[in-house]
Structure 1
Amino acid sequence: MSKALKILSRDDVETHNKDGDLWIVIDSTVYDLSKFAKLHPGGLAVLLDEDVGEHHGPFPHPTRPLTLPAGQDATTVFYSLHRHEELQKPQYQRLVIGHIALEEPKIQPVGVGELSRVPYAESPWLNPSFHSPYYNDGHRRLQKEFRAFVDTVLYPDAQACEAAGTDASPEVYKAMAAKKINHMRLGPGKHLHGLTLMGGVKGEDYDAFHELIVTQELTRCGARGYGTGLGSGVFLGLPPVVNYAAEPLRSRVIDEVLNGKKVMCLAITEAFAGSDVQGMRTRADKQADGTWLINGHKKWISAGMFADYMLLACKTYGGDGPDGAVTAFLVDRSMGFETKVVPTSYSKAAGTSYVTFDNVRVPADHVIGEEGHGLLIIFGNFNHERWYMCASMARGSRSLIEECLLWSAQRKVFGKPLLAQAVIRNKLALMISKAEAMQTWIEFITFQMTKMDHRTQVKQLAGPISFCKMQFSLWEKELVSHAAQIFGGRALTATGMGRFVEMANRTGRFDDVLGGSGEVMGDLGVRQLIPHMPDDQKL
């Protein structure tokens, strides 16, 4: 049974202003801190500071800290120190004893599945005042239902697992399977035909813009490691199986991964072979009985700690370096590979691993595609990976902008909000302009994907996506830098007001490295255009 709440006046609250009898008001709600005060992280003294509100100079009080004043309204002070979500925690909800008479809360958090009301916190197509040629009612229905799923199911699990450094919970995998989310993450295709997806979207109608929505909404989990560990194998490791594996292996693995029964990852990178994929040294030697023995190591393999399956690339004949042929394999953990944690700036929730293959025997039917054609399979898969990264960076920039705008509006320096400072407004302007450009660019590429088959995409979009990833990575670092300056020391603190900016500040360089470094992307884009330079034109 819930406790009865009192209707109180501000005069009532004002009398409770001492140690052992201490109330405060936050946004018209009255909290009894009498017992909690001694447990307050900032200590009892800051709650009983007698000078609060009496110092009006242009600089902070020379001796007294910012306080939550006993018996007074502490709304402004609270929101300069704590996020709203703190008030929602059960331990603090228990401190609520009543409400101020004839007053209504002024702070209205965004509801489950709802759009942010902060300017530029959402992509332009979600602004009801704007128009887009790309999105229809089905896209909008999917976005609304999927956002509610992220808010209620994924976000709480993401925050808990990111902090603990663990894989997503079994309940989340089951919920995602029930909602066919892994099916959607794989992208448009026959695997969706006959299904009814979120928002009532028919699987046959699911296109690249639906996938863009799913990708960008997942980014809102605000947990970088968790997001990588949760699904990188679906959109990185599974497509080669879908496109090249033989039956019955193909159908079995697709069913297990899409329905959350097994976890998959992609294993390409080695200590001696990063962007230089052809420099890999892990080898697979064919045996007389048709099986293969694999020996070698892979490193920095996302989700490898959780993976049941690995989509693996190995040298199969010829020498090391560019002259050696590469073949793709699907390797089951039961075949004997070993994984160790690689400590990174992610949390352990990314499952980043060092993988050892010591005479791991793989059956012949686990070869993916033709022998020696592994590079074609891998390179063809890179477009989708890099598109996904660009889509995520574009949406992640919105979250940074929302955090910075809210903080700039409520944080006061020299007696004025940060938004009153021209230098802060300039930083925000640069952030917003880049976020708008990113979304426009990724939507243009996504539109091309709706008009091209897979083979044409591999040929025509490798260059544009490479340039896109290179530029987004540069802009992402700029946005993170501006956000860190706006939040100051809080951008270095993993808890509290700046915790999402801290994560972005810590992981913001990842996208410039993962999936091919920015320099390599730019070079790839230029090399893609060289064969198309016209011989019949000169300056």
Structure 2
Amino acid sequence: MHTGFYDEIHEEFREVVREFVTREVTPHYKQWDAAHMMPRALWEAAAENGLLGLAVPEEHGGMGLADYRFRMIIDEELARADALGAALAFHLHDDWVLPALLQFATEEQKQSWLPRFMDGSFVSSVGFTEPGAGSDLRGVRTKATKNDDGSWTLNGQKTFIGNGISGDGALVLARTDGSDVKQRGGATSFSLFLVTKEGNPGYTPGNQLEKMGLKASDTAELFFSDVQIPAANLIGEEGRGLEYVKAILPQGRLAVAAAAVVVAETVLDQTLDYVTQRNAFGERIADFQNTRFQLADLQTGLEAAQRYLAAQVEGFNAGQLDLAGASKAKLHASEFAKKCVDICLQLHGGYGYILEYPVAQAYLAVRLLTIFGGTSEILKETIAQELLAGSAPNSR
């Protein structure tokens, strides 16, 4: 990020993260990538270094690091180590599931769950997407039926679930109003649950889904067959699930925007090193006009993305980031990162197509960022709705 974005305390935190990545991630990441799975030992080591649940308040045993710059430092150091799969796994845990607990869980739920989010004993997943319901969550068919004692019985299926195999549970959006699962639900048709795998034989992860990139982060389907959910695992109030999902979307989309800017910055730095060392026709690749013009465009675009992201992070830290602002940040950053990595791969020539080179891995990974957390098309709809609402008669 640009000069002045981080303070001294952030750089001190960076040293902790960098040492953790060097010791616990870099020596093993290629093995995890090949195995399509990261071990629980990684989560335990991250917990020992204070890298999980950064925003958990001090009264619940956390450090209360709600300043999003700390989360970005973790991304930056993992990206520099070409370990983006680990960054994604941590994002799901800290930027999607944890915010729901911090905002909507009861004090009893926080006392029960937050320590486990910090100590690595509970790795979480986000169970929103289904085979027939991606961006349109009102199409969710997974159904939770309330039992006489206030508990719930869950049946359904989720897909594209990060940490789906390795995780211990998921934040699940389910239909709870008894409506026909073949129809789109209403605004109050859904509720959120924290569903645990332990003690629930009907909670079954499917096979590992073969992805283009980010393979170290396992992704799978989840199947729920008469899974029993205690009443205490309902997050917030019944019927407000969609409202809660909308409330956590700004941080989730900010997380993707931050990851996109980090990837673009890292790959551009790697490409600068490559073109200044590689020769063709007796000249450095960096000395060809096409290369210089491409690099100039990318650096300008990167700085614009960094500045815009910095403004949104500042808004988040002040409690002022809304869904439209986060959508703009994700749209711009993810689309720029996709363009940047594509051009950088081209500047690598044939080596850019070899998976041993980080730019090839980044090319496969960055393609997810315009899809995950809301496709670019959905983001444009969100932004347009805000724009048109502001231009409607009597709206000013």
- Over residues 241-287 of structure 1, what are the superposed CA-to-partner deviations in whole Å (9 max), with x where a residue is unaligned? 23222354432221112111121111100111111111111111112
Query: CA–CA distance in 1 between the matches of 2:59 and 2:261?
Result: 26
Query: 82, 85, 90: which is aligned to 1:225?
Result: 85
- Counting aligned pairs with the same residue, the percent is 24
> Do the aligned partners of 1:275 and 1:517 also contact (CA within 8 Å) in 2?
yes
> Do the aligned partners of 2:61 and 2:115 also contact (CA within 8 Å) in 1?
no
Match of 2:367 in 1: 509
After TM superposition, the structure 1 stretch with the greater mean CA deviation from structure 2, 359-368 or 522-531, is 522-531
Task: Provide closer, same or farther for how the CA distance between residues 230 and 163 of structure 1 changes in structure 2, counting only shifts above 3 A.
Answer: farther
Greater percentage in helix = 2
> Do the aligned partners of 2:53 and 2:98 also contact (CA within 8 Å) in 1?
no
Aligned positions of 1:132-281 closer than 5 A: 132=4, 134-170=5-41, 172-184=42-54, 187=55, 190-191=57-58, 203=63, 207-281=67-141
- Over residues 434-485 of structure 1, what are the superposed CA-to-partner deviations in whole Å (9 max), with x where a residue is unaligned? 1111111111111112222xxx54xxx2111111111222211211211121
Query: 225, 231, 234: which is aligned to 1:358?
Result: 225
Aligned positions of 1:24-43 closer than 5 A: none
> Do the aligned partners of 1:282 and 1:294 also contact (CA within 8 Å) in 2?
yes
> Do the aligned partners of 1:167 and 1:230 also contact (CA within 8 Å) in 2?
no
Query: CA–CA distance in 2 between the matches of 1:265 and 1:193?
Result: 21
> Do the aligned partners of 2:25 and 2:83 also contact (CA within 8 Å) in 1?
no
Amino acid at match of 1:514: F
Query: 441, 444, 462: which is aligned to 2:323?
Result: 462
Query: CA–CA distance in 2 between the matches of 1:155 and 1:439?
Result: 26
Match of 1:442 in 2: 309
Amino acid at match of 2:218: G
Match of 1:519 in 2: 377
Gaps of 5+ in 2: none
Higher RCO, 1 vs 2 (CA within 8 Å, ≥6 residues apart)? 2
- Over residues 347-401 of structure 1, what are the superposed CA-to-partner deviations in whole Å (9 max), with x where a residue is unaligned? 5421101111111111111111100000111111111111011111111111111
Task: Provide closer, same or farther for how the CA distance between residues 507 and 312 of structure 1 changes in structure 2, counting only shifts above 3 A.
Answer: same
Task: Provide closer, same or farther for how the CA distance between residues 487 and 167 of structure 1 changes in structure 2, counting only shifts above 3 A.
Answer: same
Aligned positions of 1:411-422 closer than 5 A: 411-422=278-289
Secondary structure of 1:311's match? strand
Secondary structure of 1:299's match? strand
Query: CA–CA distance in 1 between the matches of 2:282 and 2:317?
Result: 52
Secondary structure of 1:400's match? helix
> Do the aligned partners of 1:282 and 1:314 also contact (CA within 8 Å) in 2?
yes
After TM superposition, the structure 1 stretch with the greater mean CA deviation from structure 2, 268-277 or 317-326, is 317-326
Secondary structure of 2:191's match? strand
Q: TM-score, normalised by structure 2?
A: 0.91
Query: 416, 429, 435: which is aligned to 2:296?
Result: 429
Gaps of 5+ in 1: 1-122, 126-131, 196-202
Secondary structure of 2:369's match? helix
Match of 2:191 in 1: 327
Task: Provide closer, same or farther for how the CA distance between residues 280 and 385 of structure 1 changes in structure 2, counting only shifts above 3 A.
Answer: same
Amino acid at match of 2:383: G
- Over residues 199-218 of structure 1, what are the superposed CA-to-partner deviations in whole Å (9 max), with x where a residue is unaligned? xxxx4676233333333333
Task: Provide closer, same or farther for how the CA distance between residues 287 and 299 of structure 1 changes in structure 2, counting only shifts above 3 A.
Answer: same
> Do the aligned partners of 1:390 and 1:468 also contact (CA within 8 Å) in 2?
yes
Aligned positions of 1:122-141 closer than 5 A: 123-125=1-3, 132=4, 134-141=5-12
TM-superposed CA distance for 1:178, in Å, is 1.6
Secondary structure of 2:226's match? strand
> Do the aligned partners of 1:467 and 1:521 also contact (CA within 8 Å) in 2?
yes
Query: CA–CA distance in 2 between the matches of 1:206 and 1:303?
Result: 24
TM-superposed CA distance for 1:194, in Å, is 7.2
Query: CA–CA distance in 2 between the matches of 1:537 and 1:281?
Result: 37
Q: Which has the larger radius of gyration?
A: 1
Match of 2:162 in 1: 302
Query: CA–CA distance in 2 between the matches of 1:325 and 1:175?
Result: 40
1:338 equivalent to 2:204? Answer yes
Task: Provide closer, same or farther for how the CA distance between residues 191 and 298 of structure 1 changes in structure 2, counting only shifts above 3 A.
Answer: farther
Q: TM-score, normalised by structure 1?
A: 0.68
Query: 444, 451, 471: which is aligned to 2:332?
Result: 471
1:451 equivalent to 2:315? Answer no
Task: Provide closer, same or farther for how the CA distance between residues 505 and 210 of structure 1 changes in structure 2, counting only shifts above 3 A.
Answer: closer
The alignment of Structure 1 onto Structure 2 pairs a total of residues equal to: 389
> Do the aligned partners of 1:165 and 1:348 also contact (CA within 8 Å) in 2?
yes
TM-superposed CA distance for 1:230, in Å, is 4.5
Secondary structure of 1:526's match? helix
> Do the aligned partners of 2:20 and 2:46 also contact (CA within 8 Å) in 1?
no
Match of 2:351 in 1: 490
Query: CA–CA distance in 2 between the matches of 1:205 and 1:297?
Result: 35
Query: CA–CA distance in 1 between the matches of 2:224 and 2:66?
Result: 39
